[in-house]
Structure formats: structure tokens, C-alpha cells
Chain A
């Protein structure tokens, strides 16, 4: 038995994605910059894929560039846009629950002399919009807020955030890390005024090593990677053509099935939440239990059990999950997201993240809950004292 519930870490690529990539490894292996027809074929794919992604975002033409993944997209967007605006001010804003590729980029900018405001979140992982209003001032040039939190699934109200920012100062750039949100939540960049949005291929059945970044037309963004000026000069380096082909295919599949996929995952999440609540004592759901949460992420603390140990116990039953973030007694860090949400030590230690794909079944959830019930009963007897 193999039950994979770690789809926020990465997903199994669709077969069609792997097949599509093989074509671009074996036959259409050209460099899009080459002048001959083998190169031209790769270039044609690149254009088509770009257009497909732009459409999926309801965005204008030539607003999406391909990157090596979500991390690189976040780096290029944050650093590039901040440098582009640095003459206008010195203050940049983000939240405490961002992905490390955002938090660490902000930290590095802080070391360079920018003033950083880290917004706090409530018990469900929602940022305080009043705090954002107060933080925005004449000196503010850039805001980055993740769309869906990767650990607890909280969805940020990007549209409201954008409205707040615009009402203060329309010059401020707004970026959102959409790696966990893309294709799983509502998004319309024609109506929403976001300046930049990061995506990743391998979270939606695409390959690893490919991501994308949307940048609004006319943005002043400074390149941070230099070379042959591919991808509008923002991400130099020969394009990962097979990766782009695979990403394209995955987006195509998701676009066709978006409603079904999302509804199915939401149903699985609801089902699992109900089952766990009924079957297992002393648990706490972290993150929103309602529509404010992403359909595919469910974070639960099993009190009196250590997440890492429970993870390995589930593994023995063929069930694969993830703890919030790596944590051990030797280097006791724990999840920065749960900490920011004000969780207690025991809740942080016992947290497990279940993340779903459109192909998980209720039978799998039944097996998982049965295993959880059995393993938590055993492990609670051997609680660390």
C-alpha cells in the first residue's frame, strides 16, 4: 500500500507530462535561440507555453517568464522590483509566514540596508489588514504576501490587500508567491492589480526544475541574473525546454479539469478533517477550517506525539506525509509558521501536514485515519517525558 499525502512537497508528474518531455529530450532538443529549424521548433513551443500560462492567469501577452522554479521566481521578482524602486523609498513589507525563499531574500535585503516590516498573523494564519494599512507609508516601495501558505493552507485575500495598497500609494509594487495557490484557487490578474506572481511546475503534476514568474507590463524590474538575455533579460540562460513542455502540459490538464480537481481535493480535505475529529482525541486543526483554506492542505497537531516520529510510524504503514518543517531535539527550531500563529510548543511538535492531489480517494483517507488512530495510541504511550 502506498498512500501519498505529501503533494505540497511535490506531486507525481502526470504520465502525459513525462511523455511530452521525452519528445523534447529525444527529438526536439534544439536551443530556442538557434536560427535553424530545430531551434525554431523549441522556440515555437516556448511561445505557446508562455501564452498558455498567461491565459491561465488572465494576463496580457508577454508578461510571463520561465524560471528554474518557485524559489528563483521569488528571488528574481523581489530583488528585481525592490532594486527598481529603491530611489523612491526604503521600506519593504512581507509577512512572518512566508516561504524561506521570500523570508531569506528579505533578510538579505535587510542586511543591505532596507527597512523590513514583517506582518504578524492570527491563529488561522491570516495577516492583519489593519496592521498592513498602518505599515504602509510614504517610504514603502514593495509588499510581498504569499497567496496560499504552504504549511497550513491559509488563503490571503490578495484582492483586498491590493486595494489597500493602491489606496495608500499606487506606486508600491505588490508581489505574491503563488506556488501553492496556482491552479488550486481563484486568480484573475486582469481584475486584480498584482505586479508579480510566482509559480512552480512540480506542485501541479509538472516536472521539477521549472517555474514561472508573471510581471505586469511596464514594471521597472532590474535583472539579477546576467547572460544571454533570455526571458526578457530577467532570466538569462538557455531555456529548460523539456521542463517548459512538461509544465505546459500540466497546466493544460489542470485548466481542463480545474473545477473537478479543486472540488475533489476540497471534499477529501473535508472528509479527512471530519474523520480525524471523530476518531482521534486531542488534536488541533491548524489553519482555517472553512473556505478560507486551500483545498489541498490540512495541518493537524496530534498532541502528545512528536510529528517526526508519527511521520515515520505512518511510513511503516505506507503513508507518506510531512511535518511542518524539519525539527529535532538537537536543533529545536520548529515551524516558523505555527510559531507565528501562536501555537503552543506541544502543538508545534505534534504537527503533521497532509496535502492532497486530485487523485487521492476517500478509501485512502479511511486507511490513513485508521493508521493515525492506531499509531497515535501506541506512540502516546511512549511520550517523551
Chain B
């Protein structure tokens, strides 16, 4: 059994129950592969009941956004003898590898319980000292801090697995992620998800300029992000004709920025269809020519939805560090070309003006090209059960 601790949700006032419900359903989704699991929510607590797979379930829970900590918990009748028995079992395991110091910290939500918190501390402390010769009290820096909570039943727990923090997935609505296959965009997706955004990734595929392997790489990246969200819907846009038209029609030094604008427009169309409220990109101020502040402005002007750029102020080394932590890095650095790298102009404009971009786009029926690209989009459901 696990007691779920969640940090920020507690701060959300009247919305709290909405956040908690979402968290419960996300936990259920994450634990789907395991049998005999029930998730219970009452009086500001989420408890996960399970019969087996303790270790795997604890680890899976630590990957659910919105959870700050996961405590393996023992629940028993709120009788002092039962509590003693439960405490004995917990310490028996913990003392296997040598002497330890400890402290008991009781709290009594149910005031009908005959002992006060202080009395429980003293009583259980004495009991444990008598039971185990390897045990010493240390109230300041104990090795083991035993929490005892008296509610409708008694809850005992001592360890905590650190959680992801953030907000439950979906509590910030939906957003469309522009996923390239590079290092940055999966990290941006992860960070937006961590703040509760339900992310729908979009990949721009330009065969024959980009290969099946590049597409498979993006699928693999989405599977890797599946650690945090078992069910994704990936959209693979057929981008070849749009890209060809850009290369044919627009001045060379503007091709990248116009390509970005077209991608944004396509992503926004998907967002509208999904009732999404934002676009998410891995853009990072000044990293490449299309990410100067001027270029970002010109890209932004192509859409109405807010464009979230979680990595905007990060240094590359910091992005790489997160990419390694979430295990997307190894896949991201595979050397397949994506549609952003195949037609890199020799001298891209680093300070493009919106007017120039609009002028460069004139004379082409982009809407019908975009609609065609959307019609030819392949939607892939990616279910990851880690």
C-alpha cells in the first residue's frame, strides 16, 4: 500500500478536488498493467492498495506528475496493540542491516482516539526500544522517522520515494508539441507535461528527404516520454509538398523561418481540432538562426495561440542534462536527418522582418497546401506500458 503525497495541489483552493480527481485517474492509467490495484481518495489523502509488485508500483507512482512523494504505508485498526504489531513488522525489516536511530511522530486527526499524539510517541518509542536492542532514539537526526497517523484507521509509514512534482497531466488542458527528433523538443514536451499540459506531439515528415528511420526515431522518443504518460497520439504530417514549395518559391535566406511559420500553422490547426490551448516548442533564445529574438517574433506572428517555450532561457548543457535524466538523449543524438536539417540555407537571415516573411510568402495558396498536408497526416497511437 502506498500513501501519495502531493505538494502543489494542496494549494489550489476550490479547484483542489478537480486536481485530485485528475491525479487519481492518471494514477489508475499508470498502474493499468498491474492486477489487484485500487486507488482510493478520501479526506485529502490518496491511498493506493495493492497485493503484490510493491517495488514496481512504487517506482511507477514516482513517475506520475503531481506527486511529490510516495510512501509505502501500513494500515491497521486504530487499536494500540495493532499499531504496535505493525510498527514491529516495519522495524524488523529496516533493522536487517545493522543498528539504527529512530523517532516516532504521531498525529491524531481522530480526536476520539484515547491517547494524545505525545502519548502515542512515548508509548510506541518505549515499545520499540524494548523490542529491538539495535535501536536508539535520536529526535534531531533519526535514521528512521516513523509517522503514525490516526484517522478512520491507523497509517504507519517511514520512507518516502521522491516524486516528479509538478501538476497532474491534463489539469492545464491540451497543447500541441512540435517534435523534431533533436535534443530540445522532447525536453520541452516533458517540461510542459510536468506543468499539467496534456501534450499531443506533431512530427513533420518529408520523404524522401527524411527517412523512415528518422520517423521511427521520433516514435521511439514518444515511447520514451511514455514513462510519464502511457498513452500518446502522435501526428506525422506529410510535409514534403509544403517544403518543396518553400524551396522553390521563397528567397533562400528566408526558407527556414518560413518553414517554421508553416509548421506553426499546421500545429495550430491540430490544436483547434483537439481544443488545445497552446503550442509547445523546444526553441531556445539565440541557439540557432531561427531562434534569435527577431526570428522568434516572425515565427510567433504566424499563429494566434500562445506558443510555450519551456527551454527559452536554458543553456544547452542544462537541456542536455534533463534529456539524459528523462533518457531521451541517446535517441535524440542518432544521426538521421529531419526536415529542419535537410535544406539549411548557407546564410539564413538572423534578423528577419515580419514584412519580409509575408512578402516572401505572397503568391502561393498556402492554405490548400497546408490542408493537403493535414489530410495526409498519419495519426499513430503510442501506448507504452513500462
Task: Tell me the A residues contacting B by CB distance below 8 Å.
Answer: 308-316, 326, 328-331, 375, 379, 381-382, 384-385
On whether the beta carbons of B248 and A313 are closer than 8 Å, the reply is no
Contacts of A381 in B (CB 8 A): 248
CB contacts under 8 Å to A, within B191-210, are 207-210
Q: What is the CB-to-nearest-CB distance from B149 to chain A, in angstroms, rounded to a whole number?
A: 55
Q: What is the CB-to-nearest-CB distance from B333 to chain A, in angstroms, rounded to a whole number?
A: 9
On whether the beta carbons of B208 and A309 are closer than 8 Å, the reply is yes
Q: How far is the CA of A310 from the CA of B346 in the complex (A)?
A: 22
Q: How far is the CA of A124 from the CA of B171 in the complex (A)?
A: 65
* Complex partner residue of B337 from A314, A315, A329, CB under 8 angstroms: A329
On whether the beta carbons of B335 and A328 are closer than 8 Å, the reply is yes
On whether the beta carbons of B252 and A328 are closer than 8 Å, the reply is no
Q: How far is the CA of A311 from the CA of B207 in the complex (A)?
A: 10
Q: What is the CB-to-nearest-CB distance from B214 to chain A, in angstroms, rounded to a whole number?
A: 10
On whether the beta carbons of B208 and A315 are closer than 8 Å, the reply is yes
Q: How far is the CA of A312 from the CA of B210 in the complex (A)?
A: 8
**Known: A330-B337, A382-B244. Is A308-B345 also a contact (CB below 8 A)?**
no
Contacts of B346 in A (CB 8 A): 385
Q: How far is the CA of A375 from the CA of B240 in the complex (A)?
A: 14
Q: How far is the CA of A219 from the CA of B343 in the complex (A)?
A: 55
**Known: A385-B252, A385-B346. Is A309-B209 also a contact (CB below 8 A)?**
yes
Give the interface size bracket for B toward A: 10 to 19
1/0 per residue, CB under 8 A from A, across B315-357: the answer is 0000000000000000000011100011111100000000000
Contacts of B252 in A (CB 8 A): 385
On whether the beta carbons of A312 and B336 are closer than 8 Å, the reply is no
Report whether over half of chain B's contact residues are helix, strand or loop; otherwise say mixed: loop
B211 located at the interface, meaning its Cβ lies under 8 Å from any Cβ of chain A in the complex: yes
1/0 per residue, CB under 8 A from A, across B200-241: the answer is 000000011111100000000000000000000000000000
* Complex partner residue of B341 from A316, A326, A329, A375, CB under 8 angstroms: A329
Contacts of B244 in A (CB 8 A): 382
Report whether over half of chain A's contact residues are helix, strand or loop; otherwise say mixed: helix
Contacts of B207 in A (CB 8 A): 312, 316
1/0 per residue, CB under 8 A from A, across B237-277: the answer is 00000001001100010000000000000000000000000
**Nearest-CB residue, chain B, relative to A313:** B208
Q: What is the CB-to-nearest-CB distance from B346 to chain A, in angstroms, rounded to a whole number?
A: 6
Q: What is the CB-to-nearest-CB distance from B287 to chain A, in angstroms, rounded to a whole number?
A: 15
Contacts of B336 in A (CB 8 A): 328
Q: How far is the CA of A371 from the CA of B248 in the complex (A)?
A: 22
Q: What is the CB-to-nearest-CB distance from A181 to chain B, in angstroms, rounded to a whole number?
A: 30
Q: How far is the CA of A379 from the CA of B344 in the complex (A)?
A: 16
Contacts of A310 in B (CB 8 A): 208
Q: How far is the CA of A264 from the CA of B248 in the complex (A)?
A: 43
Contacts of A308 in B (CB 8 A): 211, 337
On whether the beta carbons of A312 and B211 are closer than 8 Å, the reply is yes
**Nearest-CB residue, chain A, relative to B343:** A384
Contacts of B341 in A (CB 8 A): 329-330
**Nearest-CB residue, chain B, relative to A382:** B247
**Nearest-CB residue, chain B, relative to A327:** B335
Contacts of A379 in B (CB 8 A): 208
Most chain A beta carbons < 10 A, residue from B211, B212, B244: B211
On whether the beta carbons of A312 and B209 are closer than 8 Å, the reply is yes
Q: What are 5 inter-chain pairs, A to B, with CB distance below 8 A?
A: A311-B208, A328-B335, A328-B336, A329-B342, A379-B208
Q: How far is the CA of A315 from the CA of B252 in the complex (A)?
A: 28
Q: How far is the CA of A330 from the CA of B252 in the complex (A)?
A: 21
Q: What is the CB-to-nearest-CB distance from A302 to chain B, in angstroms, rounded to a whole number?
A: 13
Q: How far is the CA of A217 from the CA of B208 in the complex (A)?
A: 52
On whether the beta carbons of B248 and A328 are closer than 8 Å, the reply is no
Contacts of B210 in A (CB 8 A): 312
**Nearest-CB residue, chain A, relative to B337:** A328
* Complex partner residue of B335 from A312, A313, A331, A384, CB under 8 angstroms: A331
Most chain B beta carbons < 10 A, residue from A312, A314, A384: A312
Q: What is the CB-to-nearest-CB distance from A71 to chain B, in angstroms, rounded to a whole number?
A: 22
Contacts of A314 in B (CB 8 A): 208
On whether the beta carbons of A384 and B342 are closer than 8 Å, the reply is yes
Q: How far is the CA of A260 from the CA of B337 in the complex (A)?
A: 42
**Nearest-CB residue, chain A, relative to B341:** A329
Known: A384-B343, A385-B345. 6 other contacts (CB 8 A): A312-B208, A329-B344, A330-B341, A382-B248, A384-B342, A385-B343
**Known: A312-B211, A382-B244. Is A330-B345 also a contact (CB below 8 A)?**
no
Q: How far is the CA of A135 from the CA of B247 in the complex (A)?
A: 52
**A-B pairs with lowest CB-CB distance, top 10:** A312-B208, A313-B208, A331-B335, A330-B335, A328-B335, A382-B247, A309-B208, A309-B209, A312-B211, A328-B337
Q: What is the CB-to-nearest-CB distance from B93 to chain A, in angstroms, rounded to a whole number?
A: 44
**Nearest-CB residue, chain B, relative to A379:** B208
Q: How far is the CA of A311 from the CA of B210 in the complex (A)?
A: 11
**Nearest-CB residue, chain A, relative to B210:** A312
Q: How far is the CA of A382 from the CA of B247 in the complex (A)?
A: 7
Q: How far is the CA of A315 from the CA of B335 in the complex (A)?
A: 20
**Nearest-CB residue, chain A, relative to B346:** A385
On whether the beta carbons of B337 and A316 are closer than 8 Å, the reply is no
Contacts of A328 in B (CB 8 A): 335-337
Q: What is the CB-to-nearest-CB distance from B215 to chain A, in angstroms, rounded to a whole number?
A: 11
**Nearest-CB residue, chain B, relative to A328:** B335
Q: What is the CB-to-nearest-CB distance from B268 to chain A, in angstroms, rounded to a whole number?
A: 26
Q: How far is the CA of A314 from the CA of B244 in the complex (A)?
A: 18
Q: How far is the CA of A312 from the CA of B209 in the complex (A)?
A: 7
Q: How far is the CA of A81 from the CA of B346 in the complex (A)?
A: 51
Q: What is the CB-to-nearest-CB distance from A93 to chain B, in angstroms, rounded to a whole number?
A: 33
Contacts of B208 in A (CB 8 A): 309-316, 375, 379
Q: How far is the CA of A201 from the CA of B375 in the complex (A)?
A: 46
Q: What is the CB-to-nearest-CB distance from B1 to chain A, in angstroms, rounded to a whole number?
A: 49
Q: How far is the CA of A310 from the CA of B211 in the complex (A)?
A: 11
Q: What is the CB-to-nearest-CB distance from B181 to chain A, in angstroms, rounded to a whole number?
A: 11
Contacts of B344 in A (CB 8 A): 329, 384
Q: What is the CB-to-nearest-CB distance from B257 to chain A, in angstroms, rounded to a whole number?
A: 16
Contacts of A326 in B (CB 8 A): 335
Q: How far is the CA of A63 from the CA of B248 in the complex (A)?
A: 62
